[in-house]
Chain A
Amino acid sequence: MLGTKLQVTWLLLAVILCPARALAQPPLSDVGDVRLVLGELREASFVEKERIVERLSARGDPSIRPVLSALLEDRLFVRESDHLIFIVKSADDSLTSLELIDPVSLAGAGSASRDDLTKIGTNNQLRKRLRALVARFDLSGPDAAVRLAAVEEILRSLDAESLALLRARSTVEPDAGVREQIEIGLGLAALDSGDSRARLDAIAALTRTLRPQVRNRLAGLLERTADGGFAESDERVRQAAAQAVHAIDRWRTFYGVVETLFFGLSVGSVLVLVAVGLAITFGVMGVINMAHGELMMLGAYTTYVMQLAMPNHIAAAIVLAIPAAFLVAGMTGVILERTIIRFLYGRPLETLLATFGVSLVLQQLVRSVFSANNRSVETPAWMSGTLQINGALSITVNRLCIILFSLIVFAILLFVLKRTRLGLDIRAVSQNRAMAQAMGIRTGWVDAMTFGLGSGIAGIAGVALSQFTNVGPNLGQSYIIDSFMVVVFGGVGNLWGTLVGGLSMGVVDQLLEPYAGAVLAKIFVLVALIVFIQRWPRGLFPQTGRAAETQA
């Protein structure tokens, strides 16, 4: 009887003590302890690893930072022969022997073969925690940009400890931008303060920030709790919070519209880019070229080959791919024109069928050379990522690049057609072939060059497409319909029509998409286009004058 009672007491004691022991971990005192704790990483679960790294960084000693970042970057390994933990200099796949660094002294520790080393794995939660811990050390770094990134990271998961660090930093932080972000964190914390005056001040300070965290936190004040009261007890604070949320929401809606317009312009500029080459071959020459999409595909594959040729200079490869793709697609276009299309002038149906056949041949050619699998084209670092304009609006850099790129291509094309000898010839031949011939223009040569120019621009479009869509044999097919649509909508034979038509179709598509979904939005645009063409068969900017008469 007594025995059981004792046992129960012991059990109770153990239950009470256990969590306490887990929580109250003593701070690590010396190097030996660090090594010991590091050793535990070998067999720990992800949750245990999280606790271990927290213990390691609790001392605030920056010497632990390399270990944390090594774990974050998959460079922390355990040596199987003696179960010791090492940082490796680089865990690149090509290496068979890895160079070791001691995690405590950070001195070199020889090397070991890959088979003898096991990586210490991480998962998403652990990586998130590690990033936050690393950010705490970075908060006092010498570089303002690093500090800013650190504050951003800390703001993502604010707790009492990181708050104390922010508070300490705010008094010594020299950079105004970093200080501003720290203020946001302190403001968020002040919302929890017991003094309603302080809470009001915090709300006033936070009204100008558009970060979603701030909005959610303020909206949280207005929510009702389970017992029917408000999360925020003070009426005045609630009013101020409601006003602040309202103001933030208004700005966010505004920036939402700006973002949609940007998306529309970027979709539109892609349409312009793929259609502008067709505006030359179809619009100016009147050739229905069903292989136009495959010329873009050739351009995209040229980009892939350029990257293969110079794997260490991805950015340079992209830039060089632009003239290369122009040449490859342009040459293909010239050959196509000289061997097939020139025999079919004036017979649109046969041209359509013949070029469709060519498109199949080109697809199969690419399949045979590169296989049917998609090829991955890398995006250079300067073209990836976002420009954070403010808390509510960010613009992806690659889309910005494509908008600018298509405008530049359009400007150059306009210049070639309006200001050069070749442009003059092209316009002369398209307006009146017989008269141009009588004036001594080699119309056959001009035809080949015109078709080459249009095809080359399709190749350039392919370089742009390779940056955000799959590079595969079917790449062209998904864009050929769009490009014909843009040219017809804009007005056959008018470059400005192609520009305005493409951009407006992109914007309309993106305005509709959030409400109608991707498929329905596309259908709406198509239906609207058909109705438009019924009413104005010559498109937005119909050609006028004698040229139009002779073509019609």
Chain B
Amino acid sequence: MSSTLRFLTMWLLAAALACPGAALAQDTIKVGVLHSLSGTMAISETTLKDTILMLVDQQNKKGGLLGKKLEAVVVDPASNWPLFAEKARQLLEKDKVAVVFGCWTSVSRKSVLPVFEKDNGLLFYPVQYEGEESSKNVIYTGAAPNQQAIPAVDYLMKDVAVKRWVLEGTDYVYPRTTNKILEAYLKAKGVKAEDISINYTPFGYADWQARVAAIKKFGSAGKKTAVVSTINGDANVPFYKELGNQRISAEDIPVVAFSVGEEELSGLDTKPLVGHLAAWNYFMSDKAPANKVFIDQWHAYIKKPKRTTNDPMEAHYIGFNLWVKAVEKAHSTDVEKVLAALPGLEVPNLTGGVAKLLPNHHVTKPVYIGEVRADGQFDVVWKTSGTVPGDAWSDYLPGSKEIEADWVTLKCGNYNTKTKMCSGQSYK
């Protein structure tokens, strides 16, 4: 008994001695990285963790920030949504990080949102998403629907003269919300209900023959038909394979995807996919000098010359630089001061343009439509003339038309312009 006590005391003493030491050594700024390194999302998210580590490394080589070195704190939420919230709390309360870069799926973002709002943390979210949200504590560096889905549909409608639409998605929140917005948009543009077909399949769906046959049938009614795909994850591979098998070429029925990028294509035989489309705000094949520099840095850092870059990586690049600039402007890493400094800041993106942070916590982005090449890269076939400002609340959904997000003058994420009311945070 006494030996156990002594043992405990010794441990306590040791801990007490170690603690002030840790406090003394705190001349670093901690940067939290909240990306799944195991589980189903690991394939996509590991790359983003490496991106942030690379950016932190580069910033330290430049002499750090405010005279201090940056220190990345990496945690693994393991593709497990409740664990995301737990790890976020750990980063904010225990590690006291100044900023967090993280999350991929919408459900993981929704799960950490209450934590960030309660602890007043700062999260940079790098992935295109369904919108309908603007939190004081989140900076959305990925595309809102009006920066990806709507321009893609516009392109198909105007340049390809598509008259009939198949909205094909995986069964979860992002595709369902996006398709709701697109359906409302198409109907507003005069597309009849019988010319829109919406269908959902589960995650990892593999037996596409009947669905693809149905798409083929829907597309043989004599009107130009396109598929808008919000199919997520590895269900895409058998989907495109079956399209090739049933001889549906991109020239007959093009498929425009919102979740298929260079990373996803790098693991599969792309020959049957040639000509199918993807809408993003960045393509690795972009010829801008900034992009070439970034790709070279990435290859040097990751030590694999064949690794691809993709759109969420660019979003992290923008987000990280925005944060650095805001900290320099505020001369502090305090979240309130950084949040006050952020709106209006401008940083270069990788495609030769400028990303400006708007009062609604979204950024301006150019929109590109690319066609898949045989080598798994994209040829840009259309782009917006300038950048498009991200719109948090869609103008095409009945409930969200009159909602505004403005963290500068209104100080509100969902201000109803009709009732002149701010109904608080958006995660409810």
Contacts and interface: CB of A to CB of B under 8 A. Distances in A.
Interface of A: 46, 74, 93, 121, 123-125, 127-128, 131, 156, 212-213, 216-217, 220, 256, 259-260, 263, 266-267, 270, 372-376, 378-379, 384-386, 394, 396-399, 468-470, 472, 474, 478, 510, 513-514, 517-519
Contacts of B234: 374, 470, 472
Given A263-B210, A263-B213, A216 B221 contact: yes
Contacts of A399: 209
Contact of A469 (B238, B244, B251, B267): B238
B268 interface: yes
Interface magnitude class on chain B: 35 or more
B222 A216 contact: yes
Nearest to B244: A384
A373 B267 contact: yes
B204 A478 contact: yes
Contacts of B210: 260, 263, 510, 513-514
Contact of A131 (B171, B213, B251, B254): B251
Contacts of B42: 372
Contacts of A394: 246-247
A398 B43 CA distance: 29
A124 B254 contact: yes
A363 to B, nearest CB: 12
Nearest to A211: B220
A396 B209 CA distance: 9
B17 interface: no
B206 A478 contact: yes
A168 to B, nearest CB: 26
Interface stretch (B57-65, B110-118, B373-381): B373-381
Nearest to B268: A376
A398 B245 contact: yes
B245 A374 contact: no
A386 B245 contact: yes
Interface stretch (B20-28, B195-203, B311-319, B337-345): B195-203
A41 to B, nearest CB: 15
A470 B268 CA distance: 10
B33 interface: no
A98 B267 CA distance: 27
A127 B251 contact: yes
Contacts of B205: 518
A522 to B, nearest CB: 8
Contacts of B254: 124
27 contacts: A121-B381, A124-B160, A124-B275, A125-B160, A216-B220, A216-B221, A259-B213, A260-B210, A267-B209, A372-B43, A373-B43, A374-B268, A379-B241, A384-B244, A385-B245, A394-B247, A396-B245, A397-B245, A468-B207, A470-B206, A470-B234, A470-B238, A510-B210, A514-B210, A518-B205, A519-B200, A519-B201
Q: For chain A, what secondary structure do more than half of its interface residues adopt (helix, strand, loop), or is it mixed? A: helix
A372 B38 CA distance: 9
A378 B234 CA distance: 16
B175 to A, nearest CB: 14
Given A124-B275, A213-B222, A216-B222, A469 B246 contact: no
A121 B244 contact: no
A74 B374 contact: yes
B371 interface: yes
Given A74-B373, A266-B209, 10 more contacts: A121-B379, A124-B250, A156-B252, A216-B222, A220-B222, A374-B234, A385-B247, A386-B247, A468-B207, A513-B210
A222 to B, nearest CB: 13
Contact of A46 (B207, B238, B268, B381): B381
Contacts of B269: 376, 378
Contacts of A374: 234, 237, 267-268
B214 interface: yes
Contacts of A121: 379, 381
Interface in B251-271: 251-252, 254, 267-269
Nearest to B214: A514
A232 to B, nearest CB: 16
A510 B212 CA distance: 13
Given A263-B213, A373-B43, A468-B238, A518 B381 contact: no
B183 interface: no
A127 B214 CA distance: 25
Contacts of A376: 237, 267-269
Q: 7 smallest A-B Cβ distances: which pairs?
A: A216-B222, A212-B220, A469-B206, A128-B251, A376-B268, A123-B381, A470-B234
